[in-house]
Structures are given as structure tokens and as C-alpha cells.
Structure 1
Amino acid sequence: MSAPAATENVTTSCTTAATTTMPCETSILPVDASKLGTITLSHPDPDALLEDWDISWATSGADIARLQQAAAELQDGSLPVGFPTETVYGLGADATNSSAVRGIYAAKQRPADNPLIVHVASLHQLGSLLRPSSPSPAADDDKKNPVDLIPKIYHPLIRRFWPGPLTLILPLPDAPSSAPLAPEVTAGLSTFGARMPGSLIALLLIRLADRPLAAPSANASTKPSPTAAEHVAHDLRGRIATILDGGPCDVGVESTVVDGVSGDTPVILRPGGVSIDELRQCEGWENVGVAYKDKAEMGNGAEKGEGKEEEETGEPAAKKRKKEAPRAPGMKYRHYSPKARVVLFEAGTGVPNKKSVEGYKRVGTIRTKKWPKGCGLPLAQQQKDEETEEPKEEQEADQKSAAPATNGTKHSQHLGFSKMLDTLTVRPVPKPQRLVAAEDAEREIWEVNLGAETKEIARGLFSALRELDRKEVDVILVEGIDEREGDVAAAVMNRLRKAAEVEVKGS
């Protein structure tokens, strides 16, 4: 994996965890994961949930120095740090430090009742969060193997999907007030979400900082999630000091969130990088249900039917929802929304026409599986921009030549660690192409072709929304996909429905 672009320093002012303002620099620090050291994996017990892993750290070099700098800032707790994961870029802070966690909410301008996901680098680190921080003399949790503290319903999922894009809802210790986690992480809930990220840079950062990291997506609240370091800088410049740049994210949508402890049947609270079909292949998850909505429950795009709810309860629906903390991130508020109006064409509804763009001078389009070039709009010609995408054959050549880096890692056949090596492969992200309308030369059409593969669509979706926003388009027309296709299709459509102001559906 080649190192990303050179460091970018921007002198500005940063809002600290205490919400004061001080002069500082927002720096983008490129980090090449293959230059941080050599990981060794071992599987001492055939029944173990995960391999043990260790690292021989690089003794010198700019990459390890930058990782050490970010780890030191996380230990200090003054400001959160932007860092790459396999899903999207995260904004991390010490999950046991209230002041540090408040810095996340301040930087993102995130509602305080929206819980955060905790990222860990080992089962031992996770186990430390499931024990009371001050156990009673009679308690023996501190003597237990960390695996024994994890509900057994999750063991098959950990074996198959960790490290990777799957978040588990776990119970706090019996006395939540004695939980090691900062209360701001859970937003008042008796549970918390945790995952082990399938990104080498993320795992090594957590290991080096020796802190569990609370880390939502590193974007301004409600905006599309960041899948590149420059997306983080665009949203949070002046609010944080450091962004680690590990290149584009491999998955492109957030983790799947599952709850196997709060009810009789396990459920999915948020679709993401692990599909429902994959979950149903695991013991105890054959009948996993869906407990999420594809609309935000507050803000633009709120669910219809508020009047009926108000009649039944005698309480305004919006006021009632404000009292209810969401069980997982992404469930309550509008998310993933660019500045431009988003019009989502559900799968099978055809292509846009002249009427679709009436009144708009700058039009963005995102096509996926079936729309033709120009998305069915009459075109005069195509113009290349300096940021236009590479020809498809060049992109394919880039992908073939970008062989996964092994980092000297000795690995077993455990699915999670094997898949993690794929995140070291840098894949090109499609850029907008400028098209000229045939009947209105003043109308600009910017098109992003994400391709027909569902994984490629997921990988490029948030970037496409952001790139079209940079072109200052007035509207973005998006070709939806069939969410029943499996893989991450449900997650793609969930994000698009939350971002869209208008949905075009078939009869």
C-alpha cells in the first residue's frame, strides 16, 4: 500500500473537549499500514473466539511516528482524533473519559442522546468494559475469562465476523454507575455497542493508545459519512487537530448493529457491512429480525403518522421521541444528507426524464446497475474535468495491480483477520464526469457511475454524494438498487432513504 498524499496543515482554531477555543492546526497525517510493524496471529485453542495477535512495532519512520502522535493525543484526551476504519472514518476519543467523549459531541455538533459505538482491539479490552470499575469484595467478575463475560448469543458472530463491520449491543455491569465507560457514551442506556474494527490502522491505534475508543463517523452531524481523510477535514477543520489518512475506506458504509440481549429474538438495529443473510447462517441467528426504519424519526424525512400517535398518547409525537434515546446510532435523526436535494429512484422505477430536472440548472446523477450514461437525460456531449474519473479499463487495471499487502502478517483462516488484509488494498473511487444537456446548454449535469457491483456501490456512495455537493449541484438523482440482493444492499438503500427528500417508487 502506497502512502497517501502529503501532510496537509491548516492553521485554524479548535474546540476542545471542554468547548473552549484555542489556536491550533488541523493536520492530515498520511499513514501507510504496511510500515507500522509485523503482526503475528496465533490460535492457541480450537474453541477460542478469536486468534490472539501481537505486533513487532517498526522502530523508526514517519508512519509509526504519526501513529504514536495520534495515540498520545488520545491518551491526553483534549481533542478527538480522526482515523480510518474499514467502514468509514471515525472520530475517536477515550471511551472511559467523560471530558474526551464530550469533545466528540462538540466537534460533530451531535445530539447528546445519540449513543456512541466503542471500538476495541482485543477481547481482553472488551472484557474490561463488562466488569464494574469498582467491584464489590464478593464479586468475581475480575477473575473471569473475558470471553465468559460476553453473552453466548454473540459467540458465533465474533468467530465469523470480528474483526469487521459488526457492532454488538452489550449489557453494562449490573450497577451502571460503576461501569468503566463514560456515561456520555451510552446516552443513558443500560447497554452499549462495541466492535473490533477490521482495519489495521484502527486496531494498531487502539492498541498503541491502550484505550477503548468511542468513535462515531467523523463527519458533521447529519452529513454524509466520510470515506476519505479529506471528507473529515471538510467537515471538522477547526474542530479537531489530527486526522490520520489511511486512504479510502474499503466497505464504505457503517457497521451492522445487532441486539441479541434485549428481547426474546435477536434483531438488527442498523444494516451495514454484514448482511442479514450472513447473520442467518450463524447459530442462534437463523430468525434474526429487523428493528430499524428506513426513515429518520426526527428532522426532515420523519416518519408519517405523527398525528395518529399524538391522538393515541395525548402527547406530541416529536416531544415523545425526544424522550426516547435511540438504541443504536443512526436510528433517530436524519443522517447522510448532502446540501443538495436528493431524489431516490427505487429499483425498477425506470430512469429520469426532462421533467425530473425541470427548474434545476446544476444536476447531479448517481447511476448504479441499469441506468444508461446520462441517466436517460438528453445529452449533447461529454466534457472532461480535471477531477473526472479514470476510464473504466484503467480503473480495472489499477485494481488488478493493487495486490493486498500482507504487512508480513502470519495469519490463519479466521474470516475476520483474513478479510482485514483486503483493507490494505487501495481501490479507486469514481469521480464526477461533466455532461452537457442537449436542449439546454446552460444546464450542467455531473454524473458519478458507481458500477453494477453492490460492494463497489457501497464503497463509493458517500463519496459520490460529497463530490456532487462540491460541484454545487441543486439536485442529485440516484438510481436505487434492490435491497433483497443481499450483501450490503440493504445498508445502501437504508442510507439513501435517510438522505432522500423524495422517493420515486414503482406502481
Structure 2
Amino acid sequence: METSILVVDPQKLGNITFTETKTDLIEEWNIEYAEGKDYQSLKRAAEEIVNTDTPVAFPTETVYGLGADATRSSAVKAIFAAKGRPSDNPLIVHVHSLSQLRELLSDKGVLQTGNDPIPAIYRPLIERFWPGPLTIILPVPENTTLAPEVTAGLLTFGARMPRSILALSLLRLCGRPLAGPSANASTRPSPTAAEHVYDDLQGRIHTIVDGGPCEVGVESTVVDGLSSPPSILRPGGVTVEQLRQCPGWENVTVGYKDKQEGGASKPRAPGMKYRHYSPKAEVVLFEAGATKPGKEEVTRKRRVGIIRTESWKPALGLTGGSTTVTDTNGQTNGTSRPHATPSIPTDAPSRLSNLLRSVIQHQIPHAQRHTLDSSDTDVWDIDLGAETEAVARGLFSALRELDKKGVEVIFVEGIDDTTGDDIAAAVMNRLRKAAEIRV
């Protein structure tokens, strides 16, 4: 099938309006769409979700997702087919409002007056972190409207409300909760730009909604408040310390491992069992403080990739004054443009308006080519910088870019994840799952 990329500028979608509430919950929002190409493109994507089983790729603030109607088995099965995803790996359900989530949690979607089906343990997290990069584990109702493929046979499912206004608007337009794993081929690095999706899924899906580069760059934090004490099943954009500031979450524990758990048991959340985030090249991860690779190690291969963060020098200082060629990376489809939002009234509730006004100015990482003296080795070098947020945003792009260069091995300088910075923990969690060798 032919795959089309629909560029949608969120600033041209229309105007967001809010209803004042004490909790500033996202269900109290609306958007007045402005007629034009951007609205029509998003509407076309929504209609495809409603009228076909083929999933649609769309941007969120974390990574690009592959969305299909979470209540229709044939549509959810198409997600697994497009990704080549194991059927026992559960999917996260995306919603645009708490009312939509309550319908999912109610018997056959019928709400009971005066009875909130959302467990009270999650109320503090919803008020503080939604919309945003947090997924909560919820019980599957006895007569659920969710397709059974979403839960992979579990009695629970994960749900989140994305912060991207494009994602929220797509959810509103199609009127369906969307099962939405990352929009990549299974085991590959997660996509943070539209061309990453195209590289993996060209010919497998019809439509990619291009909203520019993702803001966070790593997937959502997954938490289980149904266990005692509550636990974190996957690190992501919300930190342990932030969670522990919420009532009922003071003693939240870490319930994940930084490697594939394997075995016959079903994973409780995405990313817990199978190899993830892996490029085609071999990945060698050097933990923070480890001795960097030397020239002998580097020159064992003809084409080598390096991803560095804090202390490594360009090309590990091995070039000896040779010429460095800057590669332009050939990025297209507008992924270097800012990620922005539609116009928002200045008197809108402050928490939500600040979240939705988020503007990210960054570009896809570029690689530099170095030819080592007295060897036949070409080194492609990417510097992500020392800021943890920048490393998170650029990590998956860097892995993918080095794959495009045809490198045989990628040496990665890890970052310190022992300081309590959970974005660093999320980065290292992904790298440890991608790495074949850890030093």
C-alpha cells in the first residue's frame, strides 16, 4: 500500500477554549477548528481510523504512536501485524478526556451515577500529570468494550491522556479511544519524527500525521496503583520523586528491570519482556564512568558509530588532525521545525495552558564523519550534549541516523542514572535494553 505523510501545523488547527474548574482537568477543554489544509488532513486521518482497520501514525509528546480503534479487534490486530509485535505484549489506550476513560471502565460503557470507576489512588496523579507522559494501570471491567487483543489476556490495561494537542484533537475527531504503541517496527528504536515512522512502516500503513519532532523523546512512565505499595513498571517522562510528592504514592517502588525479563509470563506493561529500541548495528553501552573505547577497539570495524554525552571527545580524540566532514543528515518532512500548539486564551487555566503551550526548538541530531589516521575506519560521531532532556530527545534519532550510515557497531557513552534524575533512568533503561554489550 502507498504511505502518505500529512504535515499538520498545530498552530493552524484553531483556538482552544477551557471551562474553569477547581482541578483544571483536561475534560474541560474544546477546540474551535479553523477550516484549512491542516484541519482537513487531521480530519482525514480520523476518518481513516473510524472507517478502516488500517492504523494511523500520529505524534504525541513522547514518541510517535500507531493508533487504531481500541474497541475493535480487527483494527487492533492490524497494529500487531504492521509492527510485527508479539501478541502477548499489551497496548496502551489513549483517551482525550476523563469522561471517555470512565466509559471504558464502566460495564458495557454505561456510566453509573455517583460511582467513579477511576480508582481513587490515581486522582492525585491525574490532577498533576495529565495530560502528559504518564500511563496508569487500570482494571478491565467484566463486560469491557475494549478489544481483547489490547490487554493481551491480562485483567488490567494501561491508559494515558497525551499532552500533544494533535493527539488530543485526533482522539476527539475520531471519537474513539486509541490503542497506540510506538509507531515503529517491533524491536526497533522508537520514532520521534515522522520520517522514522516512514522508514519502518512504509507500505504497511496508509497515513502518517507529521506534527514535527517529539518533545520528550522517551515513552511514558507506567505506574501500577492497584498493587500495594504502588510500583513503577516503566521509567519515562514522570520521575519517582514527582510521584512520591503525591498523596498515596510516597512509598512507590521500582518494579522494572533494565533488561528483558524473558520467561513464559506475560509482560504487565509494554517494554518489560522483549528486546526493544535496537538498531541494526551492534550496540556497546559504556556505563557512566567506564573507560572509553580505545583505538584498537574502534578500528576493528570499517564503519563505527559513536554517541557521546558528557566527557568523550569528538571521535574519541582519535582523529589526529584528520579532516572532519559535517553530514547534513538529509532530514525532510519538516521535522526540524518547532513543535507548537494552537492559540490559547491568556485567561485559560494556568496548568493546562502552560502544558499545551509547550514549544520545543530542536532538530534531529546530525552525524559528523571522521576518517582515522593510518586505518581504513570511518567514524560517524553524534554529540547529544550533557543535558539529560536533550539526550532523551535525541537518543532514538541518533541510533536511527547511525543505522542509515551503515555502521557495524555503535559505542554509546552512558549517563549517570544514580542521582535521582528519572529522565536519566529512562534513557539508561532504553539503552540497556538496546545494548548487546555493556561495559
2:32 equivalent among 53, 56, 73: 56
Give the equivalent residue in structure 2 for 1:151.
Answer: 119
The answer to whether structure 1 residue 497 and structure 2 residue 438 are counterparts is no
C-alpha distance in structure 2 between counterparts of 1:375 and 1:407, whole Å: 45
Query: SS in structure 2 opposite 1:483?
Result: coil
Give the equivalent residue in structure 2 for 1:163.
Answer: 131
Amino acid at match of 2:414: G
1:342-395 per-residue CA deviation (whole Å, 9 max, x = no partner) reads 0000001132211322420100000011212222434442432442599xxxxx
C-alpha distance in structure 2 between counterparts of 1:379 and 1:52, whole Å: 60
Give the equivalent residue in structure 2 for 1:256.
Answer: 221
Give the equivalent residue in structure 2 for 1:373.
Answer: 314
Give the equivalent residue in structure 1 for 2:6.
Answer: 29
The answer to whether structure 1 residue 329 and structure 2 residue 270 are counterparts is yes
C-alpha distance in structure 2 between counterparts of 1:152 and 1:129, whole Å: 16
C-alpha distance in structure 2 between counterparts of 1:48 and 1:103, whole Å: 36
Give the equivalent residue in structure 2 for 1:420.
Answer: 356
The answer to whether structure 1 residue 236 and structure 2 residue 206 are counterparts is no
C-alpha distance in structure 2 between counterparts of 1:108 and 1:134, whole Å: 29
Q: TM-score, normalised by structure 1?
A: 0.82
Number of residues of Structure 1 aligned to a counterpart in Structure 2: 433
C-alpha distance in structure 1 between counterparts of 2:23 and 2:107, whole Å: 27
C-alpha distance in structure 2 between counterparts of 1:81 and 1:51, whole Å: 24
Amino acid at match of 1:205: L
Give the equivalent residue in structure 2 for 1:309.
Answer: none
Query: SS in structure 2 opposite 1:337?
Result: coil
1:49 shift after superposition: 4.5
- The answer to whether the Cα contact below 8 Å between 1:361 and 1:444 also exists between their aligned partners in 2 is yes
C-alpha distance in structure 2 between counterparts of 1:403 and 1:264, whole Å: 39
C-alpha distance in structure 2 between counterparts of 1:159 and 1:37, whole Å: 25
C-alpha distance in structure 2 between counterparts of 1:500 and 1:388, whole Å: 24
- The answer to whether the Cα contact below 8 Å between 2:285 and 2:431 also exists between their aligned partners in 1 is yes
Query: SS in structure 1 opposite 2:43?
Result: helix
C-alpha distance in structure 1 between counterparts of 2:144 and 2:27, whole Å: 27
- The answer to whether the Cα contact below 8 Å between 2:305 and 2:402 also exists between their aligned partners in 1 is yes
1:282 shift after superposition: 1.2
Give the equivalent residue in structure 2 for 1:340.
Answer: 281
Give the equivalent residue in structure 1 for 2:100.
Answer: 125
Which ranges in structure 1 are unaligned for 5 or more consecutive residues?
1-12, 14-24, 136-140, 299-320, 391-397
1:149 shift after superposition: 1.5
C-alpha distance in structure 2 between counterparts of 1:264 and 1:362, whole Å: 49
1:284 shift after superposition: 1.2
1:408 shift after superposition: 3.3
CA distance 1:434–1:358, change in 2 (3 Å): closer
C-alpha distance in structure 2 between counterparts of 1:180 and 1:51, whole Å: 21
C-alpha distance in structure 2 between counterparts of 1:290 and 1:31, whole Å: 38
Amino acid at match of 1:97: R
1:487 shift after superposition: 4.2
CA distance 1:159–1:98, change in 2 (3 Å): same
Query: SS in structure 2 opposite 1:54?
Result: strand
CA distance 1:115–1:388, change in 2 (3 Å): closer
- The answer to whether the Cα contact below 8 Å between 1:172 and 1:191 also exists between their aligned partners in 2 is yes
**TM alignment of 1:46-125, pairs within 5 A:** 46-47=22-23, 49-50=25-26, 52-58=28-34, 60-125=35-100
CA distance 1:134–1:386, change in 2 (3 Å): closer
1:398-452 per-residue CA deviation (whole Å, 9 max, x = no partner) reads 99xx6965523453222x5522321x43422221111121231x21000111011
Give the equivalent residue in structure 2 for 1:275.
Answer: 239
Amino acid at match of 2:165: L
C-alpha distance in structure 1 between counterparts of 2:69 and 2:14, whole Å: 24
1:6-40 per-residue CA deviation (whole Å, 9 max, x = no partner) reads xxxxxxx3xxxxxxxxxxx2001100001111111
C-alpha distance in structure 2 between counterparts of 1:457 and 1:249, whole Å: 13
C-alpha distance in structure 1 between counterparts of 2:106 and 2:339, whole Å: 42
**TM alignment of 1:85-484, pairs within 5 A:** 85-133=60-108, 141-144=111-114, 148-173=116-141, 175=142, 178-261=143-226, 263-298=227-262, 321-322=263-264, 324-387=265-328, 407-410=343-346, 411-414=348-351, 417-422=353-358, 424-440=359-375, 442-484=376-418
- The answer to whether the Cα contact below 8 Å between 2:15 and 2:342 also exists between their aligned partners in 1 is no
Which ranges in structure 2 are unaligned for 5 or more consecutive residues?
none
1:42 shift after superposition: 2.3
C-alpha distance in structure 1 between counterparts of 2:18 and 2:323, whole Å: 51
Identity %: 58
C-alpha distance in structure 2 between counterparts of 1:325 and 1:480, whole Å: 29
1:47 shift after superposition: 4.5
Higher gyration radius (CA): 1
1:75-102 per-residue CA deviation (whole Å, 9 max, x = no partner) reads 0132000000000000000000110000
1:332 shift after superposition: 0.5
- The answer to whether the Cα contact below 8 Å between 1:361 and 1:474 also exists between their aligned partners in 2 is yes
